[in-house]
Amino acid sequence: MAALTPSYRLSVAARALAAIVGGYALTALASFAMAIFLPLSRAEASMTATLSSFLIYACVVIWVFAARTTWRAWAGIVGSMIVLGALVWLQRQVAAS
């Protein structure tokens, strides 16, 4: 068993935070984007996005704990959120104009 050094503990805490809070935020944004971009009726797109959200969340959590370093895990979460957020923002701008 690895020694429970302070840096190990910090790394676990940072990953848990990335998985639980970061993972939820990313999932929320992903299902928001899916609901907008899926080529289905409004209701069906919302339904599909919500139904698949838990699968997305689980995959994000697994990935966070499998990532080689904690930095990578956080970078992956934040990076995906920036991309998705930009797409949603663009779509909203286009829809409003």
Partner 1 sequence: MKEGFRQSMAWLHTWSGLVVGWILFAVFVTGTLSYFRPEISQWTRPELRDVKADANAASKTIATLKERAPNSPRWFITLPEAREPIVRVTYRDPNGGGEGRRGFKTAWLDPSTGEEVKARETRGGDFFYRFHFELSMKPIWGRWVVGFCAMFMFVAIISGVITHKKIFKDFFTLRPRKGQRSWLDAHNAVGVLALPYHVMITYTGLVTLMFMYMPWGVQANYGDNREAFFADATGVAEEVKPANQPGVLTDIEPLLHEARTRWNGAHAAFITINNPSDINSRITIRRDTEGQLANSNRNVVFSGTTGEVLSVAGEPAPASQTRAVMFGLHMATFSSTTLRWLFTLSGLGGILMVASGLVLWTVKRAPERAKLGYTPFGHRLVEVLNIGVITGLPIAVAAFFYANRLLPVALADRPAWEVRVFFAAWLLSFVLPMIPPARVAWTTQLVAGAALFAALPAVNALTTQTHLGITLAQGNWVYAGFDLTMLGIAALLGLTGWYASRTPGSRKPAQRKAPEALNLPAEAERA
Strands (E), 1-97: none
Question: Which CB sits closer to partner 1, 70 or 78?
Answer: 70
Residue list 62-81, contact with partner 1 (CB under 8 A): 62, 65-66
- Which of 18, 22, 26, 29 is in the footprint of partner 1 by CB under 8 A? 29
Residue list 33-62, contact with partner 1 (CB under 8 A): 33-36, 40-51, 53-55, 57-58, 61-62
Cβ neighbors of 64 (< 8 A, separation 6 or more) are 15, 18, 19, 22, 23, 73, 76, 77
